[in-house]
Amino acid sequence: MSKQVIVRNVAIGGGAPITIQSMTNVSVTDVQATAKQISRLIDAGCDIVRIAVPNQQSVEAFRQIRGMFDIPLVADIHFDYRLALGSILAGADKIRINPGNMQKQHLLQVIQCAKQHNVAIRVGVNSGSVNKETLERCGGNKAVALVESLKEYLQIFQQQNFHNVVLSVKSTDVRETVAINKAVAKLGYPMHLGVTEAGLLQQGIVKNSVGIGALLLDGIGDTIRVSLTSDPVDEVLVAKDLLVSLGLKDGVTFVSCPKCGRCSIDLETMAKRVHAYVANIKKPLKIAVMGCEVNGPGECKDADLGLAGSNGKFVFFKQGKIYKTVPQETAFEEFTKEIDKLAK
């Protein structure tokens, strides 16, 4: 088991539940837009929010936003150590830095400041930021070089007796992501998982699910960020589905059939509405939306509750047994009432 890091009121590692992170994608200096996005992320189930802090003006905006929410906030810093110091003083619960783009004396100042204020540091390297010398030393093998770079940086933190650290190594390549994270997991620190620059929604979901999923199945990973070129809320929803589907988070397992020629109803619309309805239910339920009454209830026998199309109507079923038929017009309302009863 890894060490544990506490970020405000959330634990990362050491056997704590796996947390979901996302990042705002509007300028932090637009405080209202950032606050609105954070509220949406919280509603979607995000546990930790990261915010880019690219300049001094952003530090001040970060301070304002800090005062508006109780969720842990991470300041994402590149290059300028003064922004890291400023963000810590502005109330960041954790900062994310790539030590490779900071001078060592500046990095030491950041570590001291984080120590004084009990702020965690995510030490992150990714495939775009491997140091040339390390790459040469590792015979041009980027994966090995990434892990070596991270180990070298980690030593600096350890020499300062600073262990409030979360590690991340990211690649855009799924296989490489899995291999390097397996190597880094051996270091015993909490791990932040993600496949970087994974692309648009569909491709991004596939790459993140395969990469993060493979690691989680091996017991590696303490906090995840599904990186998508999309609304950050999508990152949270996908991360939640990923964790629920692996049994690593309580929530509704939603099932819907692919539909075939036996289906006589608008299955897709119903499935989307029910899926959206159950998104925030934390109880471990299995809810099914199936295309036909002939096979649907049988195909989904273990569902706590399901509905299936039946000649323009819907039948409701529990554990494979049909118990009610309702007209199409009222089916959604009646079904959600049944869900509410189970979710209580």
Residues 20 and 45 sit within 8 Å (Cβ to Cβ): yes
* Helix residue spans in the chain (DSSP H): 31-44, 56-66, 81-89, 104-116, 132-137, 142-159, 174-185, 201-217, 232-245, 267-278, 296-299, 328-343
Q: Pick from 183, 206, 210, 263 the residue near ligand SF4 by CB under 6 A.
A: 263
Q: In whole angstroms, how close is the CB of 283 to ligand SF4 at the nearest point?
A: 25
Between the CA of residue 291 and those of 6, 24, 285, 305, 309, what are the distances in Å?
A: 46, 38, 20, 14, 5
Answer for which of 15, 67, 140, 258 binds ligand SF4 (CB under 6 A) is 258
Of the candidate residues 104, 140, 161, 260, the single one contacting ligand SF4 (CB under 6 A)? 260
Tell me whether residue 140 or residue 258 sits nearer to ligand SF4 (CB atom): 258
Can you tell me which of 106, 259, 273, 286 binds ligand SF4, judged by CB under 6 A? 259
Nearest-CA neighbor of 303 among 325, 278, 328, 327?
278
> Which CB atom, from 121 or from 271, has the smaller least distance to ligand SF4?
271
Q: Write out the binding residues for ligand SF4, residues 299-318 only, by CB under 6 A.
A: 299
In the complex, minimum distance from the CB of residue 339 to ligand SF4, in angstroms, rounded to a whole number: 19
Stated as kind and residue range, the H or E segment containing 126 is strand 120-126
Residues 6+ apart with CB under 8 A from 219: none
Q: Does 264 bind ligand SF4 (CB under 6 A)?
A: no
Of 13, 204, 213, 291, which one interacts with ligand SF4 (CB under 6 A)?
Answer: 291
Q: Which of 185, 215, 236, 257 binds ligand SF4 (CB under 6 A)?
A: 257
Residue nearer to ligand SF4 on the CB measure, 280 or 311? 311
The residue to which tokens 């397992």 are assigned: 253
Is-contact 215 182, C-beta < 8 A?
yes
Nearest to 85 by CA among 71, 100, 102, 69: 102
Cβ proximity to ligand SF4: between 163 and 318 the closer is 318
Write down the least CB distance from residue 273 to ligand SF4, Å: 17
The residue ranges that bind ligand SF4 (CB under 6 A) are 257-260, 262-263, 290-292, 295-296, 299
